[in-house]
Chains A and B, each alone.
Chain A
Amino acid sequence: MSTAERLMSSLTARRGERVLAWLAVGAVGVSAVLSLVASPPDAEQGGLIRLMYVHVPAAWVAYLAFAVVFVASVAYLRTRKTRWDRVAAASAEVGVLFTALTIVLGSIWAKPVWGTWWTWDPRLTTTAILLVIYVGYLAVRRLPDNPARRARWAAVVGIVGFVDVPIVHLSVRWWRSLHQAPARLIGVPDVSGSMGVALGVGFIAFTLVYLYFMALRLRVGRLEERVVAEALSPRIGQPAEALMEEPARG
Chain B
Amino acid sequence: MSALGQALAIAKKDLRIEVRGRHVAGTILPFAGTLLIAFGLSLGPGRSLLRQTAPGLLWLAVLFASVLAFRQAYQAEGEDGAFESLILAPIDKASVFLGKAAAVVVELLALEAVVVGLVVVLFDLPVGHAPVVLAGAFVLGTIGLAVVGSLFGALAEMPRTREAIFPLLVLPLCTPVLVAGVKATELATTGPAGQAGSWLGLLLAFDVVVTGVGSLLFVYLVED
Direct A–B contact in the complex, CB atoms closer than 8 angstroms: yes
Contact (Cβ within 8 A) B151 A160: yes
Contact (Cβ within 8 A) A160 B210: yes
CA distance A161 to B148 in the complex (A): 11
Contact (Cβ within 8 A) A163 B176: no
Residue A164 at the chain B interface, CB threshold 8 Å: yes
Residue B49 at the chain A interface, CB threshold 8 Å: no
CA distance A165 to B205 in the complex (A): 13
* Interface of A toward B, CB cutoff 8 Å: 77, 129, 132-133, 135-136, 139-140, 143-145, 149, 152-153, 155-157, 159-161, 163-164, 167-168, 170-172, 174-175, 178
Residues of A within 8 A of B175 (CB): 129, 168, 171-172
Q: Which of B10-18, B109-117, B126-134, B213-221 contacts A (4 or more CB under 8 A)?
A: B213-221
Q: Assuming the A-B contacts A77-B220, A160-B217, A167-B209, are A175 and B173 also in contact, with contact meaning beta carbons closer than 8 angstroms in the complex?
A: no
Of listed B161, B179, B183, B210, residue having the most chain A CB within 10 A = B179
Residue B155 at the chain A interface, CB threshold 8 Å: yes
Give the number of residues in B that approach A within 8 Å (Cβ atoms): 33
Of the A-B pairs whose beta carbons lie under 8 Å apart in the complex, a sample of 21, sorted by A's number, is A133-B173, A136-B165, A136-B168, A139-B165, A139-B168, A143-B161, A145-B158, A145-B161, A149-B223, A153-B155, A153-B221, A156-B151, A160-B151, A160-B173, A160-B214, A163-B209, A163-B213, A167-B176, A167-B202, A167-B206, A171-B176
Residues of A within 8 A of B80 (CB): none
Contact (Cβ within 8 A) B168 A135: yes
CA distance A196 to B127 in the complex (A): 53
What's the minimum C-beta distance from A69 to chain B, rounded to whole angstroms? 15
What's the minimum C-beta distance from B174 to chain A, rounded to whole angstroms? 9
Report the nearest B residue to A164, measured CB to CB.
B173
Question: Contact string, B187-215, partner A, CB cutoff 8 A, digits 1/0?
Answer: 00000000000110010011001100110
